[in-house]
Each structure stands twice: as structure tokens, then as C-alpha cells.
Structure 1
Amino acid sequence: MNKASYPLKLPASIKSAAQRLAREDGVSLNQWISVAVAEKIGAVETAAEFLRVRAGKAKPADLLPFLDAAAGESASPADEMPNA
């Protein structure tokens, strides 16, 4: 395995939490962070692949008939923007 160094700056609260979790897992902070990054990469790449497959050959223009059909609809109360 080829390894690369990267200076990582974390807020103190995040570093403390990561250290605590690493200690609970019985691993070094470096190993814990490496696994956390690997898990995040897996999640993002899996989601991207799922959405790519789900979209198939659809194009943004394919949504226009649905948007046109909903043009006169009002937003439901749950979908309205909260007052700023």
C-alpha cells in the first residue's frame, strides 16, 4: 500500500471526539481517521453510482412535462419556505 501524508487541521472539539472514539475502538487516531475517510468515500461513491443508474438515460429536459403539469399547483404547507 502506498501511503501519503497530509497535514490535517481539525477543530479541537472534533479532534477530542475522534480521539475518544479511536480510544474506544482500540485503534490509533490516525487509523480511526483513515477508516472514517474510507467509509465516507464509499458512501459518496455508492450514492453517486446509485443515482447514475437510477437516472439511466434521462436528461434534464425529460422533467419538463412534469414541471409544466405542476406549474399551477400551490406548495403544500410542509413545502413552504419558513419565514426569515
Structure 2
Amino acid sequence: MSTVSLRLPQFLHKEVKNIAKEEGISVNQFIATALAEKMSALRTQEYLEQRAARGSRDKFDNALSKIGSNHPLDENDIVITD
């Protein structure tokens, strides 16, 4: 484990303490979890941007052409049997 000294505005520290107490966890655990969630969101965004850059409209159109002309069912097409 590493130790980090963190300066927070008073209002933010107070709110973090309140939320951590409500959740039944320590302030350290709350901050570590919040940091992990933020890092995950940023990494996910990077991953999706990289995947999008590799995308191809031609490959997309080709994949769609294999689906055929089926349309989604609407509520009148659903038949329930016992």
C-alpha cells in the first residue's frame, strides 16, 4: 500500500465523510473506490475510441447485409401458448 497526502476543500471532505459513513466504509476506502471507478471509465473510453478507429463502414455494411430483411416483432406478433 502507498500513502498519499491529499488536500480537499472542506465541503468536499465533509461530504465524503458523510457518504462513507452512510455506506459503512472508511474515507480511504471510499476515495480508493471512487478513484478506481474514474480510472475504469477513462480506460473504457480509450478502449472504445481505439476500437472505433479500427472500424470500417464497409465491414459494418457487409455484416448488416447478412442479417436479411427480418424485422423486429411488435406486440401484435407475439403469441403466448400454454
- Shared fold per TM-score greater than 0.5: yes
Trace 1:6-25 onto structure 2 (pairs within 5 A). 6-25=4-23
Partner-residue secondary structure (3-state), 2:16: helix
Gaps of 5+ in 2: 57-82
Residues 1:26 and 2:24 are matched in the alignment? yes
Gaps of 5+ in 1: 59-84
Match of 1:41 among 3, 26, 39: 39
The letter of the residue matching 1:31 is Q
Structure having the higher Rg:
2
- TM-score normalized by the length of structure 2: 0.64
- TM-score normalized by the length of structure 1: 0.62
How many pairs align? 56
Q: Name the Cα RMSD after superposition.
A: 1.5
Please list the CA deviations of residues 17-64 of structure 1 after superposition, one character each: whole Å capped at 9, or x if unmatched: 111110110000011000000000001001110111111279xxxxxx
Determine what percentage of the aligned residue pairs are the same residue: 30
